[in-house]
Amino acid sequence: MTVAIIDYGSGNLHSAAKAFERAARSMEDPQAIKVTRDPDAVYRADRIVLPGVGAFADCRRGVDAVDGMLEALTEAVRVKARPFFGICVGMQLMATRGKEHVITEGFNWIGGDVEKIEPRDESLKVPHMGWNTLDMVREHPVLERLPLGPKGRHAYFVHSYHLNAANEADVLARADYGGPVTAIVAKDTAIGTQFHPEKSQRFGLALISNFLKWKP
Amino acid sequence: MFKVRVIPCLDVKDGRVVKGVNFVDLRDAGDPVEAAIAYDAAGADELTFLDITATHENRGIILDVVRRTAEACFMPLTVGGGVRTVDDIKTLLRSGADKVSINSAAVSRREFVKEAAEKYGEQCIVVAIDAKRVKRAGGSDRWEIFTHGGRNATGIDAIEYAQEVVSLGAGEILLTSMDRDGTRQGFDLPLTRAIADSVPVPVIASGGVGNLDHLVDGVREGHATGVLAASIFHFGEFTIRQAKDHMVRAGLPMRLDP
């Protein structure tokens, strides 16, 4: 089994790879974590991870700049139904459009736009930077045994935009930051988190383990 | 619910923690990676490395420290010190830093903040501000920016500067009072509050923490979203957990995950 972490020039790749390696090590059937910018390797992988930090349009350009990557990714996830994990902007790219500075097309796997968060409470700062709890919207295998809710564990967020999903059914969890912030989305064999599981200590590693075990 | 951050800061010189860290049994109290692992286990909300390596040849050492830390700690890491070019930021982020803090380079050339934020996103660009109260003849006091550890005056107004760097793309301000740094008298609360209330991004208070009430004051009075401290944690005076428990008792929302 191989897990491809897509390298398209986005930072933070190292941390994501290390977190997936750590989670994979503690599993019964080992999965090889492979950082790659080879579309063939992505196409052949059993699971795919798309990290992303920075601006939506920049990340989209990064994916497009690797010849054949978008086609391989789309084919693997949407046709071959391989499990997919988008992190932060990697998750936002699953949306129809991004509206950060300019309007940019997303992959349109999940209907909705990526919009600026606007906390109602004026004392709350943007970016939403730090630890927040998650409220479950619907159950899903990747959330199994994770303590959510106001007294549950925390996830680490660093972002100013979030995916405002058109269909409630695509949202697994939200955070509250002067209003609802989309935290986890899921559709078919793809999931995405706005927060950084690779920076969310034990909670993040548990979520990654659940993803690696998930057989949709 | 969103929580207040407690952030220990480690000064690193030539790949070694300055003065060491003695709050837990470490094989090597001077190894920043071991200290980072201990703080990760202790429940720190973020970690900051400040690289104070002076010589150019040894500047690459911090990259290895960052890389090894990112392999062992799955928590947010900010790295600052000597960050002058977009390439410096790139190598730090690629090594595993989540945020990079810029200090003097932003004072001497503001556009650097903009270039960095455009390239890597505002969320990973922290501008570190070292400010000091300055008496003005015939006028009211104000805070001005100092560089080189508080030695060089710039005559730049700290509040105006904070607003400027935020408008150029700083996603967070790490604010250190040079008057309070090392004094253990608590944060400069009027300074912290003045900056925090004048910018829309998070402000981390730093400089002067001597007891746990100071941490509470930084948030409550200073309006900081996070508090940074060094010695009270490094020398075992207080644990991260004690700090957080104290802040919970004072009514602040804290993360107490096991």
What residue spans define the domains of chain B?
5-249
Structure tokens at B232: 């009270």
Lowest mean pLDDT among B22-26, B85-89, B106-110: B22-26
Instruction: Give the Cα separation of B246 and B214 in Å (integer).
Output: 11
Measure CB to CB from residue A126 to each of B118, B200, B255 and give the nearest one.
Answer: B200
B3 contacts A129? CB cut-off 8 A: no
Cβ–Cβ under 8 Å, residues B90 and B37:
no
Mean pLDDT confidence for B61-70: 95
- Does CATH number 3.40.50.880 belong to domain A2-213? yes
Active site residue B130: yes
**In angstroms, how far is CA B48 from the centroid of its own chain?**
6
Please give the Cα distance from A168 to B26 (Å, whole number).
Answer: 49
The answer to whether the Cβ–Cβ distance between A54 and B45 falls below 8 Å is no
Average pLDDT of span B220-243:
96
Q: By the CB < 8 Å criterion, does B90 face chain A?
A: yes
Residue whose C-alpha is closest to residue A188's, from A95, A115, A84, A104:
A84
pLDDT at B164: 98
Confidence of residue B141 (pLDDT cuts 50, 70, 90): confident
Nearest CA in chain B to A177: B2
Torsion of CA B214, B220, B222, B225, to 10 degrees: 100
What's the gap in Å between the CA of B152 and the closest CA on chain A?
A: 31
Measure Cα distances from B199 to A125, B45, B115, B127, B161 in Å: 9, 22, 20, 12, 10
C-beta atoms of B123 and A58 within 8 A? no
Q: Classify residue B20 by its DSSP letter.
A: -
- Which residues on A lie below 8 Å from B95 (Cβ)? 14
- Reported CATH class of domain B5-249: alpha beta
> How far is residue B184's CA from residue A80's CA, in Å, rounded to a whole number?
60
Q: Quick one: average pLDDT of B8-14?
A: 95
d(CA B21, CA B41): 15
- Tokens 């929580």 locate to B3
Query: Distance between CA atoms of B187 and B164, rounded to whole angstroms?
Result: 23
Task: List B residues 126-165 in contact with A (Cβ-Cβ < 8 A).
Answer: none
At A11 the pLDDT is 66
Give the integer Cα–Cα distance in Å for A183 and A195: 7
Range with lowest mean pLDDT among A108-122, B132-146, B161-175, B233-247: B132-146
At B56, is the secondary structure helix, strand, or coil? helix
**Beta-bridge partners for A206:** none
* Strand pairing class (B125-134; B142-147): antiparallel
Sign of the dihedral through C-alpha B94, B100, B106, B111: positive
| Structure token digits, residue B104 | 């003097």
Please give chain A's pLDDT, 216 residues, in tens: 999 999 998 767 888 999 999 999 988 888 999 999 999 999 999 999 999 888 899 899 999 999 999 999 999 999 999 999 999 999 999 999 999 889 999 999 999 999 999 999 988 999 999 999 999 999 999 999 999 999 999 999 999 999 999 999 999 999 999 999 999 999 999 999 999 999 999 999 999 999 999 999
Higher-pLDDT residue of B243, B57:
B243
Could you tell me the pTM of the whole model? 0.96
CB contacts < 8 A (A, B): 114
Is residue A59 flagged as an active site residue?
no
pLDDT band at B19; cut points 50, 70, 90:
confident
Ordered DSSP codes for A82-120: --EEEETHHHHTTEEEE-SSS-EE---SEEEEEEE---S
The complex's ipTM works out to: 0.94
Nearest to A19 by CA among A87, A73, A81, A82: A87
* Res. B20: pLDDT tops 80: no
